[in-house]
Copies of this chain bind each other. A is one copy, B any other.
Amino acid sequence: MTLEELRKQIDVLDRQLVDLLNERARAAQMVGQLKAATSLPVYEPNREKIVYENIRAANQGPLPDIELTHIYERIIDVMRALQRNELASQRNNAQAAAASEPGLAAGASPPETGKG
């Protein structure tokens, strides 16, 4: 395969990666909506552990586990930021609703998270 062909292949793979990352982002946003709308615990430290175990178990190389983890740390950072926005948006809506019912307005906001 020529350099040109390899790069075309990489460009195709990158577009597939972008689609998958966006699909994952949509799911993370929906998790954020659920967390904001229900009484489920918002911060679940074991979830991140499961995400890393899952990707390492799926890893058949050539990426070493440590480099794959390195990429995933960034992916999870970004998903966390996205979910934080989702929670903040839901919380603002809830506060706007509560403002018309003063008895509910004192409820504490849940802490932010974003493990998905």
Q: How many copies does the complex hold?
A: 2
| Of A75-83, A91-99, A105-113, the one with at least 4 CB within 8 A of chain B | A75-83
| Contact (Cβ within 8 A) A82 B62 | yes
Q: Closest Cβ of chain B: how far from A56's Cβ, in Å?
A: 9
Looking at A2, A15, A25, A47, the one whose CB has the most chain B CB atoms below 10 A away is: A25
A-B contact pairs, 16 of them (CB 8 A): A3-B35, A6-B27, A10-B24, A14-B51, A14-B58, A17-B75, A18-B55, A18-B59, A19-B60, A21-B63, A25-B62, A29-B62, A63-B78, A67-B78, A68-B78, A71-B75
Q: Which one of B16, B22, B50 lies within 8 Å of A20 (CB-CB)?
A: B16
